[in-house]
Copies of this chain bind each other. A is one copy, B any other.
Amino acid sequence: MTEHAFSDPERQAVYRAIAERRDMRHFIPGAVPDETLARLLMAAHQAPSVGLMQPWQFIRISNPALRQQLHALVEQERQRTAEALGERRDEFMRLKVEGIRECGELLVVALPAHREKHVFGRRTLPEMDLASASCAIQNLWLAARAEGLGMGWVSMFDPDALGQLLQIPSGGKAIAILCLGHVSAFYKKPMLEQEGWIQGRPLADFIHHNTWKDQDQ
């Protein structure tokens, strides 16, 4: 413990949010209050960013017709993904992969245009903009869990088509459709595990010492 450590109950709360956050696809009706949404967006905005470039843009979708169009885009990609999966096609099609029509609040997150001017920390790894934006989304996710709200990150869409639909400027790129809202319950474990699609591997499989050589992948 260091002098800067949070109190025990505070530490436990942080670990609780991390442990109980789930990628939600099942929502129940109910709006997200504006002041709650404002807190969640501020949590996202407090994320670290490479060279402090703040490479995130949040598009709040309130137009019902637009929500429907977003759903159609995702449905199209869901079909294509199913085809690409081959023998697991039917099994995949039984999974619920999004809650776009049911969630109380729908957000799209996009990387901004003109990112090439940001060289700091990105000269060899330009994708650090996406890394920063992902940290922002994870902040939002954890804060939502603490507020008792579920969130799902949907990445099953054609980013060009979504960009066109939302008038994202050239050079910008949609990276997430976030479904946010009330849930009847949080999954006890990742939904893909619950549904028997895949089982997660234990942490020990992901730890190396000094070099990678002792691991099979």
Contacts and interface: CB of A to CB of B under 8 A. Distances in A.
A209 B119 contact: no
Residue from A176, A185, A211 whose CB has the most chain B CB atoms within 10 Å: A211
A71 interface: no
A124 to B, nearest CB: 5
B60 A208 contact: yes
Interface string A174-216: 0110000011011000101100011011010011111111010
A44 to B, nearest CB: 8
Contacts of A146: 5-6, 10-11, 14-15
A39 interface: yes
Interface string A102-134: 000000001011100001111111011011111
> Which interface class (under 10, 10 to 19, 20 to 34, 35 or more) fits A?
35 or more
B6 A17 contact: yes
Contact of A2 (B3, B9, B182): B182
A172 B212 contact: yes
A5 B147 contact: yes
A173 to B, nearest CB: 9
A100 interface: no
Given A4-B183, A155-B128, A52 B198 contact: yes
11 contacts: A5-B148, A9-B9, A9-B13, A45-B206, A97-B121, A121-B154, A124-B159, A127-B130, A128-B155, A168-B212, A169-B217
Interface of A: 1-6, 9-19, 21-23, 30, 39, 41-43, 45-48, 50-52, 54, 56-63, 66, 77, 80-81, 84-85, 92, 97, 110, 112-114, 119-125, 127-128, 130-135, 137-139, 141-143, 145-149, 153-159, 166-169, 172, 175-176, 182-183, 185-186, 190, 192-193, 197-198, 200-201, 203, 206-213, 215, 217
